[in-house]
Amino acid sequence: MKNNLYSLPLIGDTAPTFTAKTTNGFIKFPDDFAGHWVVLFSHPMDFTPVCTTEFLSFQSHIHDFQKLNTDLIGLSVGAISSHLAWFRSIYNEIEFKNLKNIEISFPVIADMDLKISKLYGMIHPNTSDTKTVPAVFIIYPH
């Protein structure tokens, strides 16, 4: 059994701050999202079936999230180039529950150095030192 070197933020904790490269450019969190709720979610890797349907579902409801003053941010340890290739694949090749030709517009973080994954406790110490586990954080406005 490996030691858990990373702690998971708990309900009521202040969300850890970070800067990151995303598919929509650099972000400074939480400053760039001040006054908004945020749903921060991770997935283990690009091009996986479950993660793809998750992205399609999130994107199909983006206007509902916006009406609720909520922004979406995805995270993967993959590179921006991989994320963008995956987005093209989603747009050109994937149909799920009558969703097709969906363009992913929310930012997806490239966490190649695992900095953010570690800040948020997204690395399961008994499973992997290099892949995030699926996680969802709902962060209230500051």
C-alpha span between 118 and 99 (Å, rounded): 33
Average pLDDT, the chain: 89
Specify the pLDDT at position 2.
Answer: 40
pTM across the whole model: 0.88
Specify the pLDDT at position 139.
Answer: 95
Q: What is the mean pLDDT of residues 53-70?
A: 96
Q: Which fold has domain 19-139?
A: Glutaredoxin (3.40.30)
Give me the active site residues, please. 51
Specify the pLDDT at position 129.
Answer: 62
